[in-house]
A and B are shown apart, each in its own frame.
Chain A
Amino acid sequence: MDSHQRITRRRFLKTAAAGVALGIAGKPSILPAKEEYDLAVISGEPAAATKKALETLGGISRFVKKGHRVVLKPNMSFARTPEFGATTHPMVVAAVAQECIHAGARQVLILDHTLHRAELCLERSGIREACKNISGVHVQAFQERKFFKEIKIPQGKVLDRVEVIQEALESDVLINIPVAKSHSATGVSLGLKGLMGLIWDRESFHSRININQALSDLATLIKPQLTIIDATRALASGGPGGPGDVKKTNLIIAGTDPVAVDSYGVTIVPWYGQNFKGRQVEHLLIAHQQGLGKIDTDQLKIYKGTT
Chain B
Amino acid sequence: MRTTLQALSLLLFSLFLVFATYKLPDWFPADIYLRLDPLLGLNAVFAAREMIGRALWALVTIGATLLIGRFFCAYACPMGASIDFLDLLLFRKKKRESLKTESNLRKVKYFLLIVFIIAAVTGLSLAFLMDPIALLTRFYTFFIYPLVITLINLFLDLLRPLSKVLGWVSLSHLHFFQPVFYMSAITLLIFGGIVALNLIAPRFWCRYLCPLGALLSLISPLGLFKRKVSQECNECLKCLKACPMGAIPEDPKTSRLPECIQCRTCVKVCPQNAITFPVSLSIGGEYSGIDFSRRGFIYSLAGGLGVGFLAARTPFTLLQGKHNLIRAPGAIPETEFLRTCIRCGECMKSCLTNTLQPCLWESGFSGLWTPKMDLRLAPCDQNCNVCGKVCPTQAIRSVSIEEKNHAKVGTAILLKEKCLVWAQNKICLICDEICPYNAIVFRPVEGYRRPVVIASKCNGCGFCEQRCPVLGESAIVVVPDGEIRLKEGSYVKEAKKLQLEFKADPGDDKFILEESGFKIESGKKEEKKSQPQNPKGFL
CB neighbours of A245 from chain B (8 A):
506-507, 509
The answer to whether the Cβ of B435 comes within 8 Å of any Cβ in the partner chain is yes
Which listed residue (B353, B381, B507, B513) contacts A250, Cβ 8 A?
B513
CB neighbours of A124 from chain B (8 A):
383
A246 and B511 form a contact (CB under 8 A): yes
The answer to whether the Cβ of B428 comes within 8 Å of any Cβ in the partner chain is yes
Within 8 A of B (CB), among A246-278: 246-251, 268-276
A241 and B511 form a contact (CB under 8 A): no
A244 and B438 form a contact (CB under 8 A): yes
- With A246-B507, A273-B527 known as contacts, the answer to whether A138 contacts B534 (CB < 8 A) is no
The answer to whether the Cβ of B189 comes within 8 Å of any Cβ in the partner chain is no
The answer to whether the Cβ of A306 comes within 8 Å of any Cβ in the partner chain is yes
The answer to whether the Cβ of A1 comes within 8 Å of any Cβ in the partner chain is no
Say how far B334's CB is from chain A's closest CB, in angstroms. Answer: 29
The residue in chain B whose Cβ has the minimal distance to the Cβ of A201 is: B469
The residue in chain A whose Cβ has the minimal distance to the Cβ of B435 is: A241
CB neighbours of A15 from chain B (8 A):
none
A82 and B511 form a contact (CB under 8 A): yes
Say how far A274's CB is from chain B's closest CB, in angstroms. Answer: 6
A238–B436 Cα gap in the complex (Å)?
10
* Best-buried of B352, B469, B537, B539 by chain A (most CB within 10 Å): B537
CB neighbours of A51 from chain B (8 A):
none
B526 and A273 form a contact (CB under 8 A): yes
Which listed residue (B175, B352, B434, B511) contacts A115, Cβ 8 A?
B434
Within 8 A of A (CB), among B158-217: 167, 169-170, 173, 175, 177
The answer to whether the Cβ of B249 comes within 8 Å of any Cβ in the partner chain is no
CB neighbours of B420 from chain A (8 A):
206-207
Within 8 A of A (CB), among B387-444: 420, 426-430, 432-438, 442
Q: Which of A21-29, A32-40, A59-67, A279-287 interfaces with chain B?
A: A279-287
A44–B515 Cα gap in the complex (Å)?
6
The answer to whether the Cβ of B529 comes within 8 Å of any Cβ in the partner chain is yes
Main secondary structure of the interface of A (DSSP, over half): mixed
A270–B506 Cα gap in the complex (Å)?
17
A218-244: CB near B (< 8 Å → 1, else 0) gives 000000000000001101001011111
A269 and B520 form a contact (CB under 8 A): yes
The residue in chain A whose Cβ has the minimal distance to the Cβ of B420 is: A207
A203–B509 Cα gap in the complex (Å)?
31
A183 and B438 form a contact (CB under 8 A): no
- With A183-B429, A206-B429 known as contacts, the answer to whether A275 contacts B514 (CB < 8 A) is no
CB neighbours of A183 from chain B (8 A):
429, 433, 537
B427 and A206 form a contact (CB under 8 A): yes
The residue in chain A whose Cβ has the minimal distance to the Cβ of B432 is: A184
CB neighbours of A43 from chain B (8 A):
515-518
A187 and B507 form a contact (CB under 8 A): no
The residue in chain B whose Cβ has the minimal distance to the Cβ of A276 is: B538
* Best-buried of A80, A206, A249, A251 by chain B (most CB within 10 Å): A206
A247–B434 Cα gap in the complex (Å)?
21
The answer to whether the Cβ of B510 comes within 8 Å of any Cβ in the partner chain is yes
Say how far A137's CB is from chain B's closest CB, in angstroms. Answer: 9
CB neighbours of A282 from chain B (8 A):
537-539
Within 8 A of B (CB), among A101-115: 107, 109, 115
A212 and B537 form a contact (CB under 8 A): yes
A247 and B506 form a contact (CB under 8 A): no
CB neighbours of A269 from chain B (8 A):
520-521, 523
Which listed residue (A44, A45, A147, A233) contacts B511, Cβ 8 A?
A233
Say how far A35's CB is from chain B's closest CB, in angstroms. Answer: 21
The residue in chain A whose Cβ has the minimal distance to the Cβ of B529 is: A273
Name 6 extra pairs, CB < 8 A, besides A107-B169, A140-B173, A270-B523: A117-B352, A144-B175, A184-B537, A206-B469, A247-B521, A279-B539
21 A-B pairs within 8 Å (CB atoms) are namely A79-B381, A85-B506, A85-B511, A107-B169, A140-B170, A143-B177, A182-B535, A184-B536, A185-B536, A185-B537, A187-B538, A206-B429, A238-B438, A242-B438, A244-B506, A244-B507, A246-B507, A248-B514, A269-B520, A270-B526, A281-B537
Q: Which residues of A contact B (CB under 8 A)?
A: 43-46, 79-80, 82-85, 107, 109, 115-117, 120, 124, 138, 140, 142-144, 146-147, 167, 182-188, 203-204, 206-207, 210-212, 232-233, 235, 238, 240-251, 268-276, 279-283, 285, 304, 306
Nearest first, the 6 closest Cβ-Cβ pairs linking A and B are A187-B537, A273-B526, A270-B523, A203-B469, A206-B428, A83-B511
